[in-house]
């Protein structure tokens, strides 16, 4: 395990170089001259040249590329063009509100989705299975924007059960502000989760070892919980762990409509103001997080299935 982790960490280095190169090409070569966006079409050539010098865009492209690579390893992303703040500080300040909304919703939706999937798999083909599948499809068919607007209007405005917008730092001050967004997150996630978990569990139920277990006299619930669920954990782990990096960026719509100062809002503001350093920082951060969590998923495979050998 130790040797495998070391090898994968070394393997990550060229991957990060490659990802940084793609980000560099997209922002520096394909995206065009950012001074046009910042100064507008009426800017003079002298103004554009001065801005390029101020922003460091006049330096050789190789230096600009290695700045991105350096930021991937040091998490020093420089300063925002728009707010003039250190981007690392902005990320640290925005990560707490984002995770306070996305993490509870993600954990609860994953647990509830797995429990519901086990139940409908146990009662497969019966009325409860059909009702749950129809409810999941119906829930997934409704726009996330519709959920946000309805819940804000009905539960926050009409019934005054939740705070409609805003955020306060510190536990438990933020709890009233994250309850409604977390509930919406769960509702939006539960449908896809149940459909995926149910499919994976049913694939295992029809395997030969399940028929053998039934022939030995094991009850259906024991087979489901002790054998089927354990073997189904490999795709479930992949599904869950690969979603974790995206929790860091938060939820753009939820943070925007509930005025939560998280990374989703920071990213949205950066897109609106063409704040390229912030956008590049978010792209690099999400790429590195995705690579690291992919390694974590491989390690977790051996925990749930000892037959898998990491080489």
Interior/surface letters 64-82, b for 16+ CB within 10 angstroms, e for the rest? ebebbbebbeeeebbbbbb
Q: What is the CA radius of gyration of the chain?
A: 24
**What integer pLDDT is reported at residue 11 of this predicted model?**
82
**What integer pLDDT is reported at residue 40 of this predicted model?**
66
What are the structural domains of the chain?
A: 2-74 (no CATH), 96-304 (1.10.3720.10)
Going from the C-alpha of 144 to that of each of 93, 165, 257, the distances in angstroms are: 26, 17, 11
| Cβ-contact 283, 72 below 8 angstroms | no
Distance from the Cα of residue 146 to its chain's centroid? 21
Structure tokens at 179: 């309850």
**What integer pLDDT is reported at residue 193 of this predicted model?**
92
Strand extents, DSSP E, 91-249? none
Expressed in percent and rounded to 5, the helix, strand and coil fractions of the chain are 75, 0, 25
Question: pLDDT truncated to tens, each residue of the chain (311 aa)?
Answer: 677 778 877 888 888 888 888 888 887 766 566 676 666 666 677 777 777 777 777 788 888 888 888 888 888 888 888 888 898 888 888 888 888 888 888 899 999 999 999 999 888 888 998 999 999 999 888 888 899 999 999 998 888 888 888 888 888 888 888 899 999 999 988 999 999 999 999 888 888 888 888 888 888 888 888 888 888 888 888 888 888 777 766 577 788 888 888 888 888 888 777 788 888 888 888 888 888 888 888 777 777 666 666 55
- φ and ψ at 124, to 5 degrees? -60, 140
- C-alpha span between 94 and 260 (Å, rounded): 9
- C-alpha span between 130 and 122 (Å, rounded): 13
Task: Give, as one character, the DSSP assignment of residue 214.
Answer: H
Collapsing DSSP states into helix, strand and coil, what is residue 86? strand
User: pTM for the full model?
Assistant: 0.80
| Cβ-contact 300, 237 below 8 angstroms | yes
| Cβ-contact 202, 216 below 8 angstroms | no
Angle (CA) 115 117 123, round 5°: 110
Four-point Cα dihedral 155, 156, 161, 162, nearest 10 = 130
Angle (CA) 267 271 276, round 5°: 90
**What integer pLDDT is reported at residue 305 of this predicted model?**
66
Structure tokens at 298: 């491989």
């Amino acid at each position: 395990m130790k040797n495998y982790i070391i090898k994968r960490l070394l393997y990550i280095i060229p991957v990060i170089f490659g990802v940084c190169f793609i980000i560099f090409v997209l922002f520096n070569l394909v995206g065009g001259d950012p001074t046009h966006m910042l100064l507008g079409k009426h800017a003079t050539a002298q103004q554009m040249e001065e801005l390029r010098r101020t922003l460091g865009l006049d330096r050789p492209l190789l230096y600009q590329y290695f700045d991105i690579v350096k930021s991937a390893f040091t998490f020093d992303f420089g300063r925002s063009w728009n707010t003039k703040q250190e981007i690392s500080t902005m990320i640290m300040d925005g990560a707490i509100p984002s995770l306070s909304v996305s993490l509870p919703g993600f954990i609860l939706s994953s647990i509830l989705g797995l429990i519901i999937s086990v139940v409908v798999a146990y009662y497969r083909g019966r009325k409860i299975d059909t009702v749950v599948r129809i409810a999941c499809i119906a829930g997934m068919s409704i726009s996330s924007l519709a959920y946000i607007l309805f819940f804000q209007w009905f539960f926050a405005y009409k019934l005054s059960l939740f705070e409609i917008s805003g955020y306060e730092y510190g536990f438990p001050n933020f709890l009233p502000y994250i309850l409604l967004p977390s509930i919406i997150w769960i509702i939006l996630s539960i449908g896809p989760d149940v459909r995926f978990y149910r499919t994976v569990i049913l694939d295992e139920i029809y395997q030969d070892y399940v028929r053998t277990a039934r022939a030995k006299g094991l009850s259906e619930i024991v087979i489901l919980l002790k054998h089927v669920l354990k073997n189904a954990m490999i795709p479930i782990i992949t599904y869950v762990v690969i979603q974790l990096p995206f929790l860091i960026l938060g939820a753009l719509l939820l943070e925007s409509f509930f005025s939560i100062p998280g990374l989703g809002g920071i990213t949205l503001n950066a897109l609106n103001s063409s704040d390229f350093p912030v956008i590049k920082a978010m792209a690099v951060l999400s790429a590195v997080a995705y690579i690291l969590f992919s390694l974590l998923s491989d390690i977790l495979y051996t925990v749930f299935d000892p037959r898998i050998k990491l080489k």
